[in-house]
Chains A and B, each alone.
Chain A
Amino acid sequence: MIDGVEQLLYHEAHLLDSGLFDDWLKLLAPDLRYWAPVRAEVARALEREDEAARLPLFDETKASLGLRIRRLDTGLAWVAIPPTRTRRFISNIVVVGEADGLVHVRSNFMLFRSRSFREEWVVVGCREDKWFRSAEWLLRERKIVLDHCTVANMPEFL
């Protein structure tokens, strides 16, 4: 078992940046909720208030993430031909609390990506996770808050 939340998140980042998506899938609980609200250009309180009611940017289960991985595996997904170079930096990791065997973790990420010789983007955001701690760590819930209102093509798992 990975020792500590920090190492866990670094390990996960390594899997994603290395294209080891099937191994990443093994970190996900069968009843995973993985979602991202779209951002809105409104006051902070209002944005929080109707966050769950807005059309999301991601609304995934383990099965639907598995389908996304199988799509990449077809070798016909142009968005990943050839694979985008990604490197993610996970920081500001805070264990917010622990309840019912779930460890609540908040972390920031900065994802650098590059493709087609010279095209480069940086994607920034925050994640609020609930990890199930048993023999292995399993991600039960992840909410991703991107700091982008208009989003450039986003095939990456965050």
Chain B
Amino acid sequence: MIRPLVDAGDRTVSSRVFTDPEIFAREQATVFAKSWLYLGHRSQFTRAGDFIQTFAGTMPLLLCLNDDGQFSAFANVCSHRGGRICHIEHGNASKFVCPYHNWAYNNRGDLIAVPRQASPGFDKSRWNLWKAARVSAYRDLLFCTFSEDAASLDEYLGEMKWYLDLLLNGSRAGTEVSGGTHRSAVRCNWKIPAEQFGSDNWHFQGVHGSMGRLGARNENPTSDDSFHAWMAQGHMLICVAPRNEVPTPYTAYLNELKAKGEISDVQRKLLGCTIVMTVFPNLSFVYFPGLCSLRVWHPRAPGETDLWSWALYNKDAPDQVKDSIRKQVTRMFSPTGMLEQDDLEVWSRLEANLMSMPSTHRLCYEFGAGEENPPRPYPGITASLQSDTPAFAFYQRWAELIGP
């Protein structure tokens, strides 16, 4: 009998989930084709015609702001022979011309001109670019799906919106991302970091012992406000309360937001915590008071991922706060970051090891099975910080989508 890739019976996950090229291809056709995928941030667009290059799973994609204020998303792949129609990472254009045979498209992805004499009966409308079925925004975050029958983005995000609001709605002006993107070659399967960022507080003492030794850890894991949360959609989150809040210009800024009524008492309390979350499948955030990184794990191959990340802050935050967040993100969570470096190192060894094992090898997600959880006043299903249950729920959602 073939065991399922994700086995709820003994809470194990097959190593093949992270290594098998056939599973990787199937994942693109199912998990990535059916989910809502993060593409970009509203602040990356200022006027009609602005576009950015990104990826939807492995597919190179253009996200364009159209004249009517709506966004279009389509493959950066010419319908004719597959040429890359746009080569710069961002810019402003009303049309894109493929360098291979000059097929031209507007910024909605419609084929508008073919320079060569077309054959009789050639129907341009059949050769538009490969378009996302829908593009939707949640606050400043822009997502697309390639599934015609996907639930709305609102429904997809579900209870995760409450947590996203902590980071996205801290002030009425909304948020912006830094200009400039940290791009990191991550030598492991995309699910390894996506899992860690939503469900693994435990790794800190192992992987980041050096930062703990330097006193950079201020956590009270037994606080009522230290917990995991997850949802059936596969989203998951870690929240860790501090032992005591250290006053900084950033916490003063939070106090100001609370005094003005822009954030609630509960929001103020949680914004004093460490929050790390993954929106299924591959969008993550890491927040410390005074640091916020928004990051996408772009799958490239079973053992290769490109991490694209930005600093995220309130649009109307004082310049001092923005500068400090940019610095902290760079020093902690970038290809040169003191926390990221050790994650990248450990993940790359892990991937190499999984590749080396027999196909029957399985990984343990047993912790927290059968755990009794006191109800917590927070959305989603919650569990203690040591629990593997949120991570396992992520793989269960993944298994539902990829199918047997």
Q: A residues engaging B (CB < 8 A)?
A: 36-38, 40-43, 50, 53-60, 64, 67-68, 70-72, 74, 76-79, 116, 149-155
Contact = CB atoms under 8 A, between A and B. Distances in A.
Contact of A78 (B88, B330, B345): B345
A64 B332 CA distance: 11
B181 A151 contact: no
B184 interface: yes
13 contacts: A38-B181, A38-B183, A43-B88, A54-B180, A60-B331, A71-B210, A74-B213, A76-B212, A77-B342, A151-B182, A151-B336, A153-B184, A154-B341
Contacts of A43: 88
B3 to A, nearest CB: 31
A150 B180 CA distance: 12
Contacts of A153: 184-185, 335, 340-341, 344-345, 348
Given A64-B331, A67-B214, A74-B210, A41 B182 contact: no
Contacts of B342: 77-79
Interface of B: 53, 87-91, 178-185, 187, 207, 209-214, 306, 310-311, 326-327, 329-331, 334-336, 338, 340-342, 344-346, 348-349
Given A55-B310, A150-B183, A151-B184, A68 B338 contact: yes
Contacts of B213: 74, 76
For A38, A56, A79, A153, the residue with the greatest tally of chain B CB atoms inside 10 Å of its CB is A153
A129 B179 CA distance: 25
Q: In the A-B complex, list the 5 residue pairs whose CB atoms are closest, starting with the nearest.
A: A54-B180, A55-B180, A76-B209, A151-B335, A41-B89
A19 to B, nearest CB: 16
A84 to B, nearest CB: 10
B330 A41 contact: no
A72 B209 CA distance: 11
Given A42-B88, A57-B334, A79-B344, A150 B329 contact: no
Contacts of A37: 180
Contact of A71 (B183, B187, B211): B211
A151 B335 CA distance: 6
Given A58-B330, A71-B338, A116 B182 contact: no
